[in-house]
Amino acid sequence: MSVNFTINGKPASSAAPSTTPLLWVIREDLKLTGTKFGCGAGLCGACMVHIDGKRAFSCQTQVSEVAGKSITTIEGLSADSSHPVQKAWIAERVPQCGYCQSGQIMSAADLLKQNPKPTRDEILEHMSTNICRCGTYPRIVRAIERVVREG
């Protein structure tokens, strides 16, 4: 039984067992490796994608749940790193090891879509779903504040 959905604007299907986490379908079958495996338990946010425009842990989403839905991964956020969040991430030189940053960017983009002018507390609250072990947190806040400021 294959599942049909849209990913980064293109139709896709998966014949993986229905309980397979979407994460592994995205990474290993569709070869979109920008979405990362960090904990497999919805605790770190490295696997964050957008499903129908809202952020979701792809490691906690079974592939059967996305039938007919539209998924965006870091590769689909923009074609050329031109999304305001990506531009701000470069301007503030956020990444260190970079492994968590796809998930951080997807979370930040989700926040700003729903709330274009978040307060500092709202930023902290929303972004605390995502762990960065290198400790880029101060720059994550600065980058989001830059988007708020510059649009």
Partner 1 sequence: MSKHTKLFEAAVSRRQVMVGAAGLSFAFVATRAVSAAVLTTGPTGQVLNPWISIAADGTITIMSAATEMGQGSLTALPLIIAEELDADWSKVRITPAPPLDQIYGNPIFGGMMYTAGSTAVTAYYKPLRTIGAQVRRVLLDNAARKLGVTVDELTTEPSLVVHVKSGRKLSYGDIAAFAEVPKEAPAVKPEDLKKPSAFRLISKDVMRVEIPAKVNGSAKYSIDVQLPGMLYGTVVRAPVEGALPSSFDERGVRAIEGVIQAVKLPYGVGIIASTAWAAFAAQQVVADSVRWSRDGAAWGFDSDKGLEVFTAAVRDPDRKATDFFKLGDTRSEMPRAASTMDQVYLCDYAYHAQMEPLNAVASVSPAGDSAEIWCGTQSQTMAQEATAKALGIGRDKVKLNDLLMGGGFGRRGSRDMDFVIDAVLLSQAARAPVKVMWTREDDVRNGRFRPLSAHYLKAGFDASGAPMAYQHRLAGDRVTPFADPLRYEKAGKKDFILMLGADLKGYDVPNQLVEQIYEDTGVRTSPLRGISFTANKFAAETFVDEIAVRNGVDPLKYRLQLLGKAPRAVAVVERVAAMANWGRKVEGRGFGIAFLDYAGSQVAGIIEISLERETGKIKAHNFWCAIDCGVAVQPDNIIAQTEGSAIYGLGLVLSERISIRDGAVEQSNFYDYLVPRLNEVPLLHTEIVQTDNHPTGVGQMSTPLVAPAISNAVMQLTGVRLRHAPFTPERVKAALG
CB 90 within 8 A of CB 96: no
* Alpha carbons 140 and 144: distance in angstroms, whole number: 6
Q: Which is nearer to partner 1, 5 or 94 (CB)?
A: 94
- Using CB under 8 A, list all residues that contact partner 1: 16-17, 20-21, 24, 27-28, 31-41, 43-44, 46, 73-75, 77-78, 81, 86, 89-91, 93-102, 105, 123-125, 127-128, 130-141
5 beta partners: 12
* Alpha carbons 92 and 57: distance in angstroms, whole number: 26
Q: Which is nearer to partner 1, 67 or 91 (CB)?
A: 91
Q: How does DSSP classify residue 21? A: B
Q: Which is nearer to partner 1, 52 or 90 (CB)?
A: 90
CB of 4 to partner 1, least distance (A): 19
